[in-house]
Structure 1
Amino acid sequence: MTWRDRLRPASFRGVPFKVDVASKAGGRRGFNFEYPKRDTPSDEDMGRRARRYAFSGWVIGPNYQIDADALEVALNAEGPGRLVHPDFAEDMVRCEVYTRAQRRTEGGMAFFDFTFVEAGTSPAQLVTEATQPAAKKAAAATSDAAAKQLDDEIVST
């Protein structure tokens, strides 16, 4: 199977587009500490960066304006959407920025440059336990135990 056999048609929220250039960026977040009177820094790894995808592409054909408008609606829609990248797989992303251009010399086409960022998960989805009721229960138990111990000491004296 060649690399051409593995290519998929690019789309965002199910709206297809052709791709001229596609790239993906990532890396690690970190904080670098530099100290006075010390020649070596210290680095703290703060986790993976959100993936970013950048495309230069186009829509073409007799209905290119309708297709370009549909792509713009998808790019402007609230919340994450599914991006099918021709080479790198599928991901849930949000469109950070896009530009749409039409050239007088190249009729029947609309050109797009866009950048997407990985949507990830909401911090609210990471909470697995309600900690406030547990904290209140522990505080009440501690308060009751302290009051009982104080009563016991007063009685024994």
Structure 2
Amino acid sequence: MRHWQRDLRPASFRGIRFWVDQDALSAGKRIARHEYAGGRRTVLEEAGLATSIYDVTAYLLGDVSDLQVVSLQTACLAVGPGRLVLPIDGGFMAYVENFNRSRERDRQGYIAFSFSAIPLSNETGMTLGLADVTLAYVTDIVDAAAGLERLFR
């Protein structure tokens, strides 16, 4: 069985770390619909992939969260794509299209930070970094060792 707390990666954008409350992916194909007058059938034509968008609800927590959120805002506004690492999907290059920061009086030290990220590539799959491959390799070794231990009990 997978150990989720151990296997999740720390989330970050351009090296600025944050916690993730939720991330959602919107993706699909663009379909051109050809509807003809008097016709009873719609002709569908694939027109390529739709632009994928990750909507992330992140948060910063702690005594220096006010400084961290300024760093994250600066990273989001920097020119060009940056490396986005999500806890389950791993890392990939993306543009942050927009973001929304939220602070509440009664939750001091907790800053919500939502953003939409568009991957640099719309291809299926992610670009894995060395840390992603290493984590997968180490996790497989640990799981294999645990399986062998169970065999020899």
Q: TM-score range by the shorter chain?
A: 0.7 to 0.9
Question: Which letter maps to 2:113?
Answer: F
| Residue 22 (1) aligns with residue 27 (2) | no
Aligned counterpart, 1:32: 33
Q: TM-score, normalised by structure 2?
A: 0.74
Aligned counterpart, 1:45: 46
Distance 1:57 1:90 in 2: 16
Aligned counterpart, 1:95: 96
Aligned counterpart, 1:55: 56
Distance 2:19 2:4 in 1: 17
Segments of 5+ residues of structure 1 without an aligned counterpart are 122-157
- Mapping of 1:8-157 within 5 angstroms? 8-120=9-121
Distance 1:50 1:11 in 2: 22
The C-alpha deviation readout for 1:29-64, integer Å capped at 9, x for no partner, is 121110111111111111112221111121111111
Q: In structure 2, the residue corresponding to 1:5 is in which secondary structure? A: helix
Aligned residues: 121
Q: CA deviation at 1:4?
A: 3.4
Q: In structure 2, the residue corresponding to 1:104 is in which secondary structure? A: coil
Distance 1:91 1:39 in 2: 44
Give the number of the structure whose residues are more often helix, by fraction.
Answer: 1
Distance 2:53 2:6 in 1: 24
Q: CA deviation at 1:6?
A: 2.6
Distance 1:59 1:66 in 2: 10
Q: TM-score, normalised by structure 1?
A: 0.72
Question: Which letter maps to 1:117?
Answer: I
Question: Which letter maps to 1:36?
Answer: A
Look at both structures and tell me which one has the larger radius of gyration over its CA atoms: 1
Mean Cα deviation higher: 2-11 or 78-87: 2-11
Q: CA deviation at 1:106?
A: 0.4
Distance 2:53 2:105 in 1: 31
Structure 1: which 4+ aligned runs deviate by more than 2 Å? 1-6
Q: CA RMSD in A?
A: 1.4
Aligned counterpart, 1:129: none
Distance 2:3 2:67 in 1: 34
